[in-house]
Amino acid sequence: MPPLRLVFLGSDPIARPLLDWLAGDGASVAEVVGVFTQPDRPAGRGQQVRPNAIKAWAEARALPVLQPERLKPDVTAQFAALRPDLGLVMAYGHLLRDDFLAVPRLGMLNLHTSLLPALRGASPIQTAVALGLRETGVSLMRIVRRLDAGPIAGRERVPIGALDTALEIDARLAAACVPLVARCLPPLARGELAFAPQDEAEVTHCRKLAKEDGAVDFARPAAELAARINGLFPWPGCCAALGPEVLKFGLADLPDAYPPGPPGTPGAVAGTDVAGLLVWTGQGLLRLRRLQRPGSRMLPAGEFLRGFPLPLGAMFVSHRMPALLVPPRPPATDATH
């Protein structure tokens, strides 16, 4: 059986390991014949316009690259001209209309970085870590009109450790796409791939994150705060004011031992141990393992405290933490992926 003609649609570097596999060991299964990605936009401190990682990957292989602002009828015609057997979407960020979805003969599949039906929506990686989950994964599903609601062909599970941030989980999920797609594409080509409907009773939704989500309320339990700090690193990043300084937190967990005496006020510095700065919360001690001052770099707590010592009782200011899960979205006429 000849390899499937595959058009990839995505804009995030999380797809690079999968694309590398498709260009290498997976070439006998599917041939990437074109790439859709977001238009070039200013990025970084200098706001220079540069190609994203997906465009750079495609250009290095002389593949057709399409970067439409909108998927209008002329773009659908360009898609059809590539004669795709399959469209594969991952973190594309565009509204996909019915006429566009109907182009590939085997349909359009989407890779979503959660164990659907849990964590449909815009921030599944960060939210899974921030909620303290111990497992997440990648789901391969058929695209339907409702966001991330299509029937599922397969999942690849990924564990979340106590000291994993969203950065580490992002990399593991990127790698997990390869065995999932490798397992599912051959039976898809043969017309034998089974799709199972999602259990609507198990659905949860996460939303697009904002800078305000980095607030920390030290009245909350330490375990909740550690998960939130790790889940929202590197962006938006959790931070709190201590006197005139706003300190950013890059990694947190719970200490093995407590200082003697009664618990202190939530937000108060309780001391240090070999791994980090200890801070009282509404329930237990939080250990901050990595910290950063404005204009500086993220440092291990010991190195940070050598240049910025914090006395016992110094108080971090608390702020309300917005909820990361949101009510279900109403059905839409098109799908965004």
CATH no., domain 211-307 = 3.10.25.10
Higher pLDDT, 55 or 50: 55
Architecture, CATH, for domain 4-206+326-336? 3-Layer(aba) Sandwich (3.40)
N-to-C CA span, the chain: 30
- The CA distance from 86 to 21, in Å, is 17
- Look at residue 93 in the predicted model and tell me its pLDDT: 86
pLDDT one-digit tens code per residue, 177-189: 999 999 999 999 9
pLDDT one-digit tens code per residue, 68-116: 999 999 999 999 999 999 999 999 988 899 999 999 999 999 999 999 9
Percentage, residues of the chain above pLDDT 90: 89
pLDDT one-digit tens code per residue, 116-169: 999 999 999 999 999 999 999 999 999 998 999 999 999 999 999 999 999 999
Whole-structure pTM value: 0.95
Q: Would you call 229 exposed, middle or buried from its count of C-beta atoms within 10 A (0-12, 13-18, 19+)?
A: buried
- Look at residue 145 in the predicted model and tell me its pLDDT: 87
Closest to 270 measured CA to CA, from 287, 293, 295: 287
Q: Please state the length of the chain.
A: 337
Output phi, psi for 212, to 5 deg: -65, -20
Q: Residue 261 — pLDDT band, cuts 50, 70, 90?
A: confident
- Read off the pLDDT of each residue in 269-288 and give the average, rounded to a whole number: 96
Does residue 331 carry a pLDDT above 60? no
Helix (H, G, I), strand (E, B) or coil at 210: coil
- Look at residue 336 in the predicted model and tell me its pLDDT: 60
- Per-domain residue ranges of the chain: 4-206+326-336, 211-307
- Read off the pLDDT of each residue in 283-309 and give the average, rounded to a whole number: 97
Does residue 329 carry a pLDDT above 70? no
Percentage, residues of the chain above pLDDT 70: 97
- Look at residue 333 in the predicted model and tell me its pLDDT: 47
Q: Can you say whether the dihedral through the CA atoms of 68, 206, 13, 115 is positive or negative?
A: negative
Provide the 8-state DSSP code for 211.
G
pLDDT one-digit tens code per residue, 18-42: 999 999 999 999 999 999 999 998 8
- Look at residue 335 in the predicted model and tell me its pLDDT: 60
From 102-116, 192-206, 321-335, the region with the lowest mean pLDDT: 321-335
Closest to 243 measured CA to CA, from 225, 263, 267: 267
Provide the 8-state DSSP code for 71.
-
Highest mean pLDDT among 90-94, 198-202, 256-260: 198-202
Location of structure tokens 């190195």: 303
